[in-house]
Structure 1
Amino acid sequence: MRIDVLTLFPAMFDGVFSSSILGKAREKGIVELNTVNFRDYANNKHNTVDDYPYGGGGGMVLKAEPIFAAVEALTEPLASKPRIVLMCPQGETFAQRKAEELSGEEHLIFICGHYEGYDERIREHLVTDELSIGDYVLTGGELPAMVVIDSVVRLLPGVLGNETSAVTDSFSTGLLEYPHYTRPEQFRDWKVPDILLSGHHANIEKWRKQQALRRTLEKRPDLLENYPLTKEEKRWLEELRREMEQPEL
């Protein structure tokens, strides 16, 4: 996969792209990560990329020309068309299913804005996707782009040491992930559940599914609204609800 990021602050990505999982994926050649300062594509002697909004109002608006020119410079030599992602508070709220969708692409371009907003022609005639990482506003699109890129790249084959890790992540199955434990078997007065020490893989798998349902019901019950429950899972869920409704003594 190739990922290009259009930003006024390329240095913000230096540490992120060279460290941890992203850095290793880059070293292995699994992903190519590039930053492009779209100020270099400004069409005036002052290299300005923003201007006052027509109609008045506070703040500055990113101009269309440098963004279009930067994207066209990246895409003209290529036969395939990339997904062009605009990081924007108005965009679709980013979720695991979107990360999984984007991980199937060969080329992604992220546009990171600053100031008050974008010239609307960028949104209407250039981008393929608009993404937001939550209902709040940041000073720019760089941090949200880092979040999305990390979430997408970790799904690429060969990036994670254990290929099953991403499959069982929270939200990948539609539920929150079950609890995890590691050594020591007993820490202070807290012991690892006996089922995980039993070596009975079928029972462990059943326990994990039940725990994932429990955790989702307790923390994110909204996720269960569209989750395709099996008959067994429906029975477990009813039992959990009855258990949670019982008054504490």
Structure 2
Amino acid sequence: MTAVDPHVKVLDGTVVRRAKARGLDVLVYAPHFKRLDDIRERAEQYSDDELLVVPGREVFTGSWRNRRHVLAVGLEAPIPDFITLEAAMNEFDRQGVAVLTPHPSFLNVSLGPALIEEYRGVIDAIETCNPKFWPHHERRAESIATAADLPTFGSSYAHLPRTVGEVWTTFEREIDDAADLVETFRAGVPGDPAHRTGLTHYGQRAIEFAHLGWENSWKKIDRIVLSGREPTHPEQPAYEGRFDDVSVY
């Protein structure tokens, strides 16, 4: 049995200690606007015999006004943000990565039922629980997963260290390395999403939800998303011009 948090945005010593204290075995570290090589390096730095940290990328497809986030685990070659959804999905499929749908139909940053159906052959699992979800979000996500006949997962989606360990997914198999995790998702192995309970848990969920106000502020959009200087922009030299024709900026 393996307890996995498939999506965290923060990673440091505090996060690792908290994950271990909460009984987690695996974290997927997938920050925004970080290059794959940097994510890998940090994941390796914080992995040990007690906790496996797997690098991931929540790719920010489309423009800010028409954006869709898709979580990829197992990338061999880097993929930039700000490319079309179709181009990202084609590249995920080519690389054979695990493709996860975080927070479906949540605000305006997610895949909805129509897009999930369109890319049903590429998507491996759908998130049905994270701390930013209220009960009606969870019910909707579960309905979407059922209609698509896809496995489900839960994650802390932690932007704040204290949220790590609040939501996770348990798999009835051993996961010893990143390849095992990718295969678990790609094979459609059922997972059991779970979360803590009590006032502290729901208080932390409320704090994470409130964090969205800062995360999506227009100031941050202007400073980071639309600056053209972010490390994961398609025009950065690391991508060698491979995505110029599918860039949206």
Q: The TM-score by the shorter chain falls in which range?
A: under 0.3
More RCO (CA 8 Å, sep 6+): 2
Q: Which structure would you say has the larger Rg?
A: 1
TM-score between the two structures when normalised by the length of structure 2: 0.28
